[in-house]
Amino acid sequence: MNEFDLRKFEDEAQEQWTHAFESNPSSLEKFYLTVAYPYPSGAMHVGHGRTYIVPDVVARFWRMRGKQVLYPMAFHVTGAPVIGISKRIANNDPKTIHLYRDLYKVPQNVLDEFTDPLTIVRHFASEYQRVMTACGMSIDWRRRFTTVDPTYSKFIEWQWKHLYDAGHVIKGAHPVRYCTVDDNPVGDHDLLEGDKAEVIRFTLVMFRFADAFIPTATLRPETVYGVTNLWANPNVTYVRALVDGKVWIISQEAAEKIALQDHTVEIQEEIAGKDLIDKTVSHPLCGTVPILPADFVDPDMASGLVMSVPAHAPFDYIALRDLQHAGKYTQLKPIPLIKVEGYGEIPAQEAVEKAGITHQMDSRMDTLTQEIYSAEFSRGKVFDRYGGKPVRVARDDVAALMIEKYDSKIMYEFDTRPVICRCGNKVKVKILHDQWFLKYSDPAWKKQVSDQILDMSLVPPEVRLEFDRTVDWLKDWACTRRVGLGTRFPWDTTQLIEPLSDSTIYMAYYTIAHKIREIDAKLLTPEVFDYIFLGKESPDLPEKKKLDGMRKEFLYWYPYDYRFSAKDLISNHLTFQLFHHVTIFPKDKLPQGMVVFGMGLLNGAKMSSSKGNVFLLEDAVNDFGADTVRMFLMGSAEPWQDFDWRNELVISTKKQIERFYNTVSEIKDAKGEPHDIDRWLISRLQSHIERTTTALTNFQTRQALQEAYFGIETDLKWYRRRLPENSDGSRELHTLGSVWVRLLAPFIPFTGEHLWKQLAGEGLVSFASWPVADKKLVNTRIELAEELLTRTVEDIESIMKLIQITPKSITISIAPAWKYEIFLLIARAQDKNTVIREIMKDETMRKRGKAATDAAKQCTTLIHRLPPYVIEPLTRESIDEMNIFEEAKGFLKKEFGVPVHVTSAESSEHSKSATALPFKPAIVIE
Ligand SMILES: [Zn+2]
């Protein structure tokens, strides 16, 4: 027998696979799957491993099922991140150097070249390809491209011409996340932290302070009527700044932010926060109020000063109360202005007291605040003296009034912080003019996408809601950048198309990627792509024959069947690509399905390259073998669940593969004549085939492995126990080995190829035909008999453990026929509650009296306990328990080392015999 040596299997298979997965249009039905391509700016970790291995397992499965499968891969190198990395390496930034040299193991001579951003992506793109290949991914590498290839840029220009012609590309002013160091808008991919932060529109309430204004930002302008004071932080240094010619007192940070939002700002002098305390300010809508000290005021939040409405804001209420407990400002009383059902006169006070909150740091404060805010917004009304309108109306009215008459302005700010750029700088909100947008806010465009989603298969189904929500809230998207790599924006070539906007229909590009590079990029006019993708003829198309070849590829492969990606891309990429598809392609070329992944954990903590909490995929392959990595990643969770990488569990996966390898190697030469138990083994195998197939059709890799690995392994263990003495199995084991290797081949293809050759299978197992369950080989009666025997053996074992005597004999008593009658009546009954009453109407049963009612109750309990795969066939097949145990006497004697008697319960004198039930004989051990 050959030794189990994963490294050797890998080398052997790689040699045979070199061009094996290059896929061309054929007469077969196609299956085209794609996965979000990587941005190769660092090494792959095991989390990436799962992202690309799940589609590979699916690809291998459908290939074996006889489909023409295409699994392509490319590299996304658009954008600014890699430019930042190269700058930091050029500046010898210790953190970046550490990451690339020590964690990603980039050799020093290569690292020296990383001052050129393209070298970084080229280096890691080839690393990715090498590691993906090492993992056994069945990718058609001929179709590999990068998003800065000239031919790809021509494709993007064509795509954008269509978006523009459809009216989806617009120009305007817009608040966007902005990094002032990079001088560039910031996309989700450019963020170190704060990707959930949203830009919120605040109203600045302008309080008079001598010759100056003190602005405070609010989302609830109507509450200005209830202001009792302002809060300033005595430890912060504020500034007097000339804003659009008027003096404002704000924090230093606020001055910088305001300057990015269409205001001219000129700082005049600094003011210590403590110098503002106890001064007064005034506003026409609330009169004169004092400025009070508060450490909680954050200079980096909006203007850095806050207006206080203690009647309706729990935080303000508690802060004021704390000061008053110290004997200060006792003259200030909350001023209510909103009436809301469910609350008394002063909602904030009431809520805080009811909850028993004693200090500002109580973790329930945020929830409480949110509750009052939404109650007041949805059903509150401002008092009559303030206009008496519902809050939702008053809010806009008061804001408009203050902007018109009382110098109010708008300020944009994030709802949560921090928001940090990849370069380490704090991200701010900037109003961009002459910015280009994709008009995702367009209701008609949204509708087209919603309609398409209805027609799609989404896995798991619960992500549908998240897609709907994303389509709903998507706003216009700043789609160009000034810095980075990528395709120039056709209507303003000083700008580049940003990364999430040039990666939406590249799945169509894969279909032609290996052929289009034969044509000079200069010849690739929009008409060329119109012909390839839309079949639109135009005069003077170049290289017509080549274009026809590409059109054929596109028509064969498109639309894609499934797109795979992690769930954090639902809110951008996965939804964006639908918007672009519905604009450009006809209905029959629109996306068919998506599979959304969970996240990866390492020893229970979220994997993160920037925090160093990753395990590199290549290290994993070197340490454990590619098949081990694959089987662990597929078996530890379903694709949409989060998985947790733990080395100790990975080691046990390797042992499982070794067990499988040894077993198949052993059984391949079995030649004996089949016994009854062989029929059982082969019968069971049919349901393992069927369930593995169903699970993989539904992308349930974990479920599939449970069936294909553990299900068959458990059967084999029982089979060995049941073999007659001196038999080491029959030739049926060869059949099982062949099926087993094929069922596991998508998961552990390297071991699979090696074993397939040992079994003298034809060609590569990667292209062998997937096993098909044969109904004719299913023998329910034998399966039930063995099930009964297994359960009885388990019962005997647990009784022996319990009584702890050395047994002399075992007696098995079989339930009488009348109990079988009751059992079957209950098992077949639609209504399990009334069936007992029905049974007792029967004359003979009634005669049995209590014995019959007891038996009916016990049968009911038993039927609840037995799994459906036992009950269901039992209602159809009758089994002869007496015969089953008679035949198994020899086996049971061998198992337990004592004589075994089989009796009918009715003829037995032992009192325990009365407990015998169908499928659960009484067991007496003496
Ligand atoms: Zn930055």
Q: What is the pLDDT of residues 111-167, one digit of tens each?
A: 999 999 999 999 999 999 999 999 999 999 999 999 999 999 999 999 999 999 999
Q: Model confidence over 812-852: pLDDT tens digits?
A: 999 999 999 999 999 998 887 788 888 888 888 888 888 88
CA of 757 to the centre of ligand 1 (A): 55
- Measured in Å, residue 575 CA sits from the centre of ligand 1 at 26
Q: Is the peptide bond before 539 cis (omega within 30 degrees of 0)?
A: no
Give distance in angstroms: CA of 907 to centre of ligand 1.
88
**Residue 180 C-alpha to ligand 1 middle, in angstroms?**
7
Partner residues linked to 594 by β-bridges: 458, 563
Q: Tell how far the Cα of 74 is from the centroid of ligand 1, in angstroms.
A: 26
Name every residue whose Cβ is closer than 8 Å to that of residue 855 and which is 6 or more positions away in sequence: 818, 819, 822, 848, 917
CA distances from 862 to 865, 867, 871, 916, 917 (A): 5, 10, 10, 11, 9
CA 230 to CA 298: how far, in whole Å?
Answer: 13
Q: 3-state secondary structure string, 896-923? A: HCCCEEEEEHHHCCCHHHHHCECCECEE
pTM attached to this predicted model: 0.81
User: HSE-up of 914 (CA within 13 Å, CB side)?
Assistant: 7
Closest CA to 13 of 134, 95, 154, 125: 134
Q: Which two tokens stand for residue 605?
A: 């903590």
Q: Is the pLDDT of residue 236 over 60?
A: yes
Instruction: Give distance in angstroms: CA of 447 to centre of ligand 1.
Output: 35
Task: Find the 84 Cα to ligand 1 centroid distance in Å.
Answer: 8
The pLDDT score that the predictor gives to residue 612 is: 76
- Beta carbons of 257 and 283 less than 8 angstroms apart: no
Task: Render pLDDT for 344-370 as a digit per residue (tens, 0 to 9).
Answer: 899 999 999 998 888 888 888 888 999
What distance in angstroms lies between residue 109's CA and the mean position of ligand 1's atoms? 27
Residue 427 CA to residue 408 CA, distance in Å, equals 25
Distance of CA 607 from the midpoint of ligand 1 (Å) = 23
State in Å: Cα 252 to ligand 1 middle. Answer: 20
Class of residue 117 by CB neighbours under 10 A (exposed 0-12, middle 13-18, buried 19+): buried
User: What separation in Å is there between the alpha carbon of 476 and the centre of ligand 1?
Assistant: 22
CA of 287 to the centre of ligand 1 (A): 43
CA of 78 relative to ligand 1 center, distance in Å = 16
- Helical spans, DSSP H, in 761-880: 780-803, 817-828, 835-841, 843-848, 850-865, 868-874
Q: Ligand 1 center to residue 564 CA distance, Å?
A: 30
Q: How far is the CA of 82 from the centre of ligand 1 (A)?
A: 12
Distance CA 280, CA 290 (A): 4
pLDDT at residue 761 greater than cutoff 60: yes
Q: What is the mean pLDDT of residues 746-761?
A: 96
Cα-to-centroid distance, 219 and ligand 1 (Å): 28
- The whole-angstrom separation of Cα 784 and Cα 680 is 9
DSSP string, 210-270: TTEEEEEEES-GGGGGG--EEEE-TTSEEEEEEETTEEEEEEHHHHHHHHTTT--EEEEEE
Q: Is the pLDDT of residue 1 over 60?
A: no
Q: How far, in Å, from the CA of 65 to the mean position of ligand 1?
A: 49
Instruction: State the Cα angle at 11 between 755 and 124, rounded to 5°.
Output: 130
Identify the bridge partners of residue 200 per DSSP, sorted by sequence position. 413
Please tell me the predicted confidence (pLDDT) of residue 726: 81
* Ligand 1 centroid to residue 425 C-alpha, Å: 5
DSSP 532-592: HHH----TT-SSHHHHHHHHHHHHHHPSPSEEEEEGGGTTTHHHHHHHHHHHHS-GGGS--
- The rounded Å distance from CA 421 to ligand 1 centre is 5
Instruction: Say if CB 72 and CB 140 are below 8 A apart.
Output: yes
Looking at residue 586, its pLDDT comes to 98
Kindly report the average pLDDT of the chain as a whole number. Answer: 93
Distance from residue 419's CA to the centre of ligand 1 (Å): 11
Q: Which amino acid is at 101?
A: R
Compute, in angstroms, the gap from residue 559 CA to the centroid of ligand 1: 38
pLDDT tens per residue, range 644-695: 999 999 999 999 999 999 999 999 888 888 988 999 999 999 999 999 999 9
Cα 179 to ligand 1 centre (Å): 5
Q: How confident is the model at residue 6 (pLDDT cuts 50, 70, 90)?
A: very high
For residue 12, is pLDDT > 90? yes
Instruction: Measure the CA–CA gap between 591 and 585, rounded to whole angstroms.
Output: 10
Q: How far is CA 390 from the centre of its chain?
A: 41
The C-alpha atoms of residue 54 and residue 232 are separated, in whole angstroms, by: 55
The β-bridge partners of 178 are 185, 428
| pLDDT score of 490 more than 80 | yes
Q: Which two tokens stand for residue 523?
A: 């010849």
Ligand 1 center to 178 CA (angstroms): 8
193 CA to centre of ligand 1 in angstroms: 12
